[in-house]
Chain A
């Protein structure tokens, strides 16, 4: 006996919503999904009319769905935004070059301007070359730090007012868990904010913050959206994998745990006397940083000097030396060179 959609009660249900367990027909599901994103955007007042918004597009399911939904909502509710696609080429063969083709197709499908920046042109290093030097364990740090800067630089080139990324509820929950397990109090406070960024930097927001990853997949599937669906080849050894496996198990026990974790993260209160990093600027490139040198500069320096562990772990004391371009002592060099594969 076919189940009837619990919302319109007319058509047959085609899926069960992961978030709520309700059985819905296709159109009611689309409507529910889009409406929830609209609620997130309007209650957080993410955008104002007339702004130029850059959508971080990687060709994957999250950013494709984001681009699609933003376009739909922009027209339906008249946000009055100028949308464009920003893409970053990390230089991972077999992964990124294929997904970039998808982004180029997206550009034509949604008729939005597109800008692609690559690690090669910005930093002189591709991820493949970085992994050869660093190994398989800490490379996600490099990729993440470089990508954040790359996105900002692309946004500055296109003169956008805001960037929005396709981070979904699962991503935010994983980040909360990971920061808790790693003891990163400073990030714990910031990671659940829907808009991040401060004076001088282009604000970044996450309109899909409360959308479950499973629902994004279902939406993309039923809408027959064109996206690229392979995992990054370097990701299985990342620490985040542990948090992700845990989250998936939690979801199978209790589906609401994902938003429960986000709720916990939002309500964490930190003692006032805990030392927090103060924001300043990098003395070499002028990007925002809480140390003398921003992370990207430190990582690049390490790569260029053949000391891949510079930047992984605590090396604040060496920042002076790096700035003054003094050579490091032999003992320090030895520590920084050791790489485990």
Chain B
């Protein structure tokens, strides 16, 4: 979907040096404003950056790197880590291709100096069932002011050391540790810094992943399944390694496509959670999307101008025809519409901002509303009587 025009960039870069600085300032400011406005990241918090190697998540990594470098005024104050999910098994890549991409990415990750985790799709078979549960420790904090929330967070971080003596119960970290210990098998994610020569997965597992995905009849459903599995892998890694926030690199254009796709799939009730700035459905871990105001064009310009390294990895729908899946169709529809009506993507984005992100309120007798097993959103399958009444 990136519509980079080579001539335009070269002319601009060569002649207008001022453009670069202004653009960089604008770009960085947007990122900081996004984080600052929503005030969800606490100082000292561990945040996991999910990087796929694509342009948007590479730009995210580069922004975080810059934001934490010692020369920056008003440094960002959280502790980042990186996670990369290797989906080569799903896309039919050979082991050599996967190793090649992995080493390219590892070079980039090492240069950042943050701890990084490479998780393979084969590891889904050793996920514990706790990924299908929502830890409710965060829901009590809804009405706190930012200051109180930060104080609460720092307290719970301190009480981690007191865990052994039984004090500081109900802390974030305690819940996380309990959840991560529910796995029955060894968690086989690789950790950066330690060189692991042996393969962390077996050919049987790769074959099992392929069979799983091949058993799904339509590409649309396959993409949705892959998305769910990826999300669970990231969630579990975050829990095991003690991260309380995950940053995703979804850009504005990508989100517009996701919105329309979700409407077409019937997920209208959860649009705000799937595409909003913060996704609170897992309770203890919040998914955050700081890149959501950047169009893919802006990201492409930034990456080109400031030489942000990115690695192309093929996905399930690379080179697929336009009508192969709902996602592909929506992407090409929006691109075409954007060409005729340039305000399409930003209008869709503005509409999505007006949608509700509130967690489902508990129903009268004190019990929480039922949730879907796989995506942890409240069930919207109630009979449609209430939608028949006239709205004034």
A: which residues have CB within 8 A of B? 43-45, 176-177, 180-183, 185, 188-190, 192-199, 203, 242, 246, 249-250, 252-254, 257, 259-261, 263-272, 274, 279
Residues of A within 8 A of B344 (CB): 181
Q: Which of A195, A253, A267 contacts B268 (CB 8 A)?
A: A267
Residues of A within 8 A of B387 (CB): 192-194, 266
Q: Whole-angstrom distance from the CB of A259 to the nearest CB of chain B?
A: 8
CB of B323 within 8 A of CB of A252, answer: yes
Residues of A within 8 A of B330 (CB): 246
Q: Which of B218, B347, B389 contacts A195 (CB 8 A)?
A: B389
Residues of A within 8 A of B347 (CB): 181-183
CB of B390 within 8 A of CB of A266, answer: no
Q: Whole-angstrom distance from the CB of A244 to the nearest CB of chain B?
A: 12
CB of A193 within 8 A of CB of B264, answer: no
Known A192-B387, A261-B263, A264-B266; 6 more pairs at CB < 8 Å: A43-B385, A193-B389, A193-B390, A252-B323, A269-B356, A270-B354
Q: Whole-angstrom distance from the CB of A69 to the nearest CB of chain B?
A: 19
Docked CA distance A114–B337 (Å): 42
Q: Which of B218, B267, B391 contacts A189 (CB 8 A)?
A: B391
Q: Whole-angstrom distance from the CB of A50 to the nearest CB of chain B?
A: 20
Chain B: which residue is nearest A199 at the CB level?
A: B392
CB of B263 within 8 A of CB of A45, answer: no
Q: Whole-angstrom distance from the CB of A127 to the nearest CB of chain B?
A: 25
Docked CA distance A284–B40 (Å): 51
Q: Whole-angstrom distance from the CB of B97 to the nearest CB of chain A?
A: 29
Docked CA distance A45–B220 (Å): 36
Q: Whole-angstrom distance from the CB of B280 to the nearest CB of chain A?
A: 15
Chain B 273-290 interface mask (CB, 8 Å, partner A; 1/0): 000000000000000000
CB of B325 within 8 A of CB of A195, answer: no
B2: CB under 8 A from chain A? no
Counting chain B residues whose Cβ lies within 8 A of the other chain, the interface size class is 35 or more
Q: Which of A177, A196, A246, A270 contacts B390 (CB 8 A)?
A: A196
B: which residues have CB within 8 A of A? 218, 220, 259-260, 262-269, 271-272, 323, 325-326, 329-330, 333, 337, 344, 347-348, 350-351, 354-356, 380, 384-385, 387-392
CB of B272 within 8 A of CB of A181, answer: no
Residues of B within 8 A of A192 (CB): 387
CB of A249 within 8 A of CB of B323, answer: yes
CB of A203 within 8 A of CB of B390, answer: yes
Docked CA distance A260–B221 (Å): 14
Residues of B within 8 A of A176 (CB): 263
Known: A253-B329, A265-B268. A194 touches B355 (CB 8 A): no
CB of A254 within 8 A of CB of B220, answer: yes
Docked CA distance A183–B347 (Å): 6
Q: Whole-angstrom distance from the CB of A330 to the nearest CB of chain B?
A: 29
Most chain A Cβ neighbours within 10 Å, of B325, B326, B344, B354:
B354
CB of A246 within 8 A of CB of B333, answer: yes
Q: Which of B220, B268, B329, B337 contacts A268 (CB 8 A)?
A: B268
Docked CA distance A252–B326 (Å): 10
Q: Which of B263, B326, B355 contacts A269 (CB 8 A)?
A: B355
Docked CA distance A188–B354 (Å): 12
CB of B388 within 8 A of CB of A45, answer: yes
Q: Which of B259, B265, B389 contacts A260 (CB 8 A)?
A: B265
Residues of A within 8 A of B218 (CB): 253-254
CB of A194 within 8 A of CB of B388, answer: yes
Q: Whole-angstrom distance from the CB of A104 to the nearest CB of chain B?
A: 32
Most chain B Cβ neighbours within 10 Å, of A45, A194, A250:
A250
Residues of B within 8 A of A261 (CB): 263-264, 266, 268
Residues of A within 8 A of B348 (CB): 180-181, 183
Chain A: which residue is nearest B271 at the CB level?
A: A268
Residues of B within 8 A of A242 (CB): 333, 337
Known: A43-B385, A261-B264, A261-B266. A250 touches B326 (CB 8 A): yes
CB of B269 within 8 A of CB of A267, answer: yes
Sort A-B residue pairs by CB-CB distance and give the 7 closest, nearest first: A264-B268, A260-B266, A44-B388, A267-B269, A183-B347, A269-B356, A266-B387
CB of A195 within 8 A of CB of B326, answer: no
Known: A176-B263, A177-B263, A260-B265. A197 touches B390 (CB 8 A): yes
Residues of A within 8 A of B264 (CB): 250, 257, 260-261, 264
Q: Which of B329, B389, B392 contacts A246 (CB 8 A)?
A: B329
Docked CA distance A180–B392 (Å): 19
Residues of B within 8 A of A193 (CB): 387-391
Q: Whole-angstrom distance from the CB of A45 to the nearest CB of chain B?
A: 7
Most chain A Cβ neighbours within 10 Å, of B333, B337, B388:
B388
CB of B390 within 8 A of CB of A195, answer: yes
A to B CB contacts below 8 Å, 7 in the list: A180-B263, A181-B347, A183-B348, A193-B391, A261-B268, A264-B265, A264-B271
Chain A: which residue is nearest B268 at the CB level?
A: A264
Most chain A Cβ neighbours within 10 Å, of B218, B347, B390:
B390
Residues of B within 8 A of A180 (CB): 259-260, 263, 348, 351
Q: Whole-angstrom distance from the CB of A200 to the nearest CB of chain B?
A: 11
Q: Whole-angstrom distance from the CB of A110 to the nearest CB of chain B?
A: 27
Q: Which of A43, A181, A250 contacts B329 (CB 8 A)?
A: A250
Chain B: which residue is nearest A183 at the CB level?
A: B347
Chain B: which residue is nearest A198 at the CB level?
A: B392
Most chain A Cβ neighbours within 10 Å, of B268, B337, B380, B392:
B268
Docked CA distance A326–B368 (Å): 59
Q: Whole-angstrom distance from the CB of B101 to the nearest CB of chain A?
A: 30
Residues of B within 8 A of A266 (CB): 268, 384, 387
Residues of A within 8 A of B262 (CB): 264
Q: Which of A181, A259, A279 contacts B337 (CB 8 A)?
A: A181
Chain B: which residue is nearest A194 at the CB level?
A: B388
Docked CA distance A193–B272 (Å): 21
Residues of B within 8 A of A197 (CB): 390
Q: Which of B269, B325, B389 contacts A253 (CB 8 A)?
A: B325
Q: Whole-angstrom distance from the CB of B324 to the nearest CB of chain A?
A: 8
Docked CA distance A279–B390 (Å): 14
Docked CA distance A265–B267 (Å): 9
Residues of B within 8 A of A274 (CB): 354
CB of B356 within 8 A of CB of A257, answer: no
Docked CA distance A253–B220 (Å): 9
Residues of A within 8 A of B389 (CB): 193, 195
Chain B: which residue is nearest A184 at the CB level?
A: B351
CB of B266 within 8 A of CB of A253, answer: no
